[in-house]
Amino acid sequence: MSESELERRRRRTVSWVVALSAITLAFDGYDLVIYGAVLPILLADSSQLGPLDPAHAGTLGSYALVGVLVGALVAGSLGDWIGRRKIMLINLAWFSLCMGATAMTTSVSAFAVGRFATGIGVGALVATVGPLVAEFAPAGRGNRYNAIVYSGVPVGGVLASLVTIFLEDAVGWRGLFWIGVLPIVLVVPVAVAKLPESVKWLQARGRDGRARAVAHRIGLPLVSEEAVPAGGNSVGFAALASRSFAWPTLVLGTMSFAGLLLTYGLNTWLPKIMSDNGYGKSYSLTFLLVLNLGAVVGGLFASGWADRVGAKSVVVVTFLVAALSLALFPLKLPFVALLGIIALAGIGTIGTQVLIYGMVSNYYPTRARAAGVAWCAGFGRLGGIAGPVIGGFLVGAGAGGTTAFYVFAVVAVLAALATSLVPPPPERAGPLVGAAAPVPA
């Protein structure tokens, strides 16, 4: 086979992996934002699910995140052992079915169960696509490719905002959840046909014959990992507990905790806080739209910067951008200036979390990559649980949005400090720039 044909196959394969992974995570973003979008309806109309107050609504929003924690940790346990592809296909279908089940609930308790079950699928997907993309990304582009994929989350948020603005009156909140069933119809069949298993993972598991066959079919070269891996030959979570990875794993998890606290806190409560400050429903949904658009555009720009100078320094900067923008929220700014501040907040919160996933995906070796991303996604979702609960507590206590924004700004500053403590990867010298270069067989 000619070099040009191999190159065409390689590009086609990487394009399918990136596209399918981004589409998958768009439904994570859709699920995240749609709860915040329908929350005012559930709070105002007890005939939908039953009586619901702000504090209980914040807790209810956290049930999905508990599910994400469970799903991420399970996927991390299995992903480094059974592969990325199987986990992704199973959980795409699971997510779809659970979104449909949630749309049919008629009580707060049943809705909570539906949110928890949906979260399991979301967590498994978030923990799987990062390792998959990192193992297909061209050399020196690991952060950019991960940013493209994880930007699917804010893109899904943008779509959720638009769908809510234009379709909510026609389909109701239940119809908005039924849209989440689309992956099992539109995405799963294509993924079955087009999504390959990671060649790096097959090699890491000693399945060299299968790795060669897949590599030849999709036009990717075989790769070589480091000859003397740090942390011994341990796989998955056992590798994370090794002396080489224990400290960076703790710090990376802390960064993800803060990033998701900010992401979920803002997406859940921004519409309600802005509504309390005198902005109508359409304005509140516009704010969610601007928040997520800022994350998409800013995250992609920052990821290219991260590939050049290292992800660590860029994440420090974007966390500080979050702190500054959140501290400015309570000021009585002109509307256009407020939109600009919200866009910056999107870069500093959701965009930063996108960068963190890319940084983590490229930090660990193949044998521990799924576990490393799962740890950060899972432990991070504890922050995602805390964000809505903190917002609900402050709103319910009458403290208003000002206090919530200042609390979130302090979290962002502390997260920037934590990021500065991340050491270089034990198995690679130099800054966290991207994926290791492939070595032709």
More confident of the two residues 201 and 90: 90
Question: Please, what's the b/e burial string for 130-147 (b: 16 or more CB within 10 A of its CB; e: otherwise)?
Answer: bbbbbbbbeeebbbbbbb
Using a 10 angstrom Cβ sphere, with 0-12 exposed, 13-18 middle and 19 or more buried, the burial of residue 398 is: exposed
pLDDT tens, residue by residue, 222-240 = 665 444 444 456 767 788 8
Q: How many CB atoms lie under 10 A from the CB of residue 69?
A: 22
The pLDDT > 90 percentage for the chain reads: 21
Tokens representing 105? 């609930």
Rounded Cα–Cα distance for residues 311 and 353 (Å): 12
191 with 93: CB under 8 angstroms?
A: no
Using a 10 angstrom Cβ sphere, with 0-12 exposed, 13-18 middle and 19 or more buried, the burial of residue 272 is: buried
CATH of region 7-419: 1.20.1250.20
The residue whose two tokens read 């501040």 is 341
- Band (151; pLDDT cuts 50, 70, 90): confident
pLDDT tens, residue by residue, 64-104 = 878 888 998 888 778 777 778 889 899 999 999 999 999 99
Predicted model pTM: 0.75
pLDDT tens, residue by residue, 324-338 = 998 888 787 888 898
Q: What share of the chain is helix, strand, coil (3-state, %, to 5)?
A: 80, 0, 20
pLDDT tens, residue by residue, 166-182 = 888 888 889 999 998 99
Using a 10 angstrom Cβ sphere, with 0-12 exposed, 13-18 middle and 19 or more buried, the burial of residue 199 is: buried
Parse the chain into domains and list their residue ranges.
7-419
Residue type for 116, please?
F
